[in-house]
Amino acid sequence: MTANKGLVATAGTELDRLAELYGGALTYEAAVAGGIPIIRTINEELATDRIRRVSGILNGTSNYILTAIDQEGLSFDAALKEAQAKGFAEANPIKDVIGIDAAYKLIILTNLIFHRTLSLAQLAPTGIDHLSPRLFAAAKEWGLKIKLLASTWESRGQLNYQVAPVALNPSHPLYQVDGVTNAVVIDSDLVGTSTYLGPGAGGKATANSVLADLASLSRGEQLTGSSACLRIENGRPLTKQRYLVVNPTGLPTGLQFSDRHATSALTPALTPTDLQRLRATNPGLETLALGE
């Protein structure tokens, strides 16, 4: 058993094969979402259901920083220092703030649910370290909250995936998830939408997940782990999405905005090519995906 999400994300399939070869089992409940028993829930409670989408706030450090910026008006650096002082961020928090930690956890969940192996390069995570005060101000003006969201979903036979900061509206199930709390939202055919919340980190939460794995193994329960994984062949990231756009010199032309303020607006659904073109023709434009 392990709580090392990087190890499971990059070598889980091989480790699972070796464990099966020698009559063992690879368990890793503590590697994803700390104290939330999400691996067990997927393996047991939702074993007969078909999951279509999984989304989550999977990194407590980033969520604490974003909450401090939103609620206390701190700068990114000040929020990070506060997180470190309270033990919510490591001395070197780079993997947390650039999205790698959340990406590792999403790779594990994607592997487990969709039996597809994503690499870090395929996910190309975007973190929170580049977000400007203007974006936070615009999000607050629109009543939105910025969260680092990790998502994988099936649509028209295509696997979509994204790890990036998004602006959530108040109706989103993860809008109120603040501080170091982690949360996972699962959409499935039978259960519908179910949300799981809990501490994303901490010695006690991690220890509880490790002990739960030990208890299951001691009872002789077979945990399915990450076996039967296939390498993804035709997966693509998100195709169309709406965005919050901010431009201090004026809003871009050529788009029909149903909602707009003086220097910010909500766009219609754009493809990655549309977004790239919009950025290229509007220097200084800042964009943030809407999580709807």
Q: Are 247 and 260 in contact (CB under 8 A)?
A: no
Residue 156 region by backbone torsions, left for phi larger than 0, else alpha for psi between -120 and 50, else beta: left
CB 146 within 8 A of CB 288: yes
Rounded CA Rg of the chain = 20
What percent of the chain is modeled with pLDDT above 90?
A: 48
Whether the per-residue pLDDT at 231 is higher than 70: the answer is: no
Residue 113 Cα to chain centre, angstroms: 15
Catalytic residues: 105
Question: Which pTM does this prediction carry?
Answer: 0.85
Report pLDDT digits (tens) over 234-259: 455 667 899 999 988 777 766 777 67
pLDDT in tens, 85-107: 998 888 999 999 999 999 999 99
> Which helix H or strand E contains 192, and what residues bound it?
strand 192-199
Query: For 176-191, what is the mean pLDDT?
Result: 95
| Residue 166 burial (10 A CB sphere; 0-12, 13-18, 19+) | buried
Count, residues in the chain: 292
Tell me, what's the pLDDT at 229? 39
pLDDT (mean) for 201-215: 49
**Residue linked to tokens 């939330």:** 36
pLDDT tens, residue by residue, 123-150:
999 999 999 999 999 999 999 999 999 9
Q: How many CB atoms lie within 10 A of CB 159?
A: 18
266-287 burial: b if 16+ Cβ within 10 Å, else e: bbeebeeebbeebeeebeebbb
Output the average pLDDT for the chain. 83
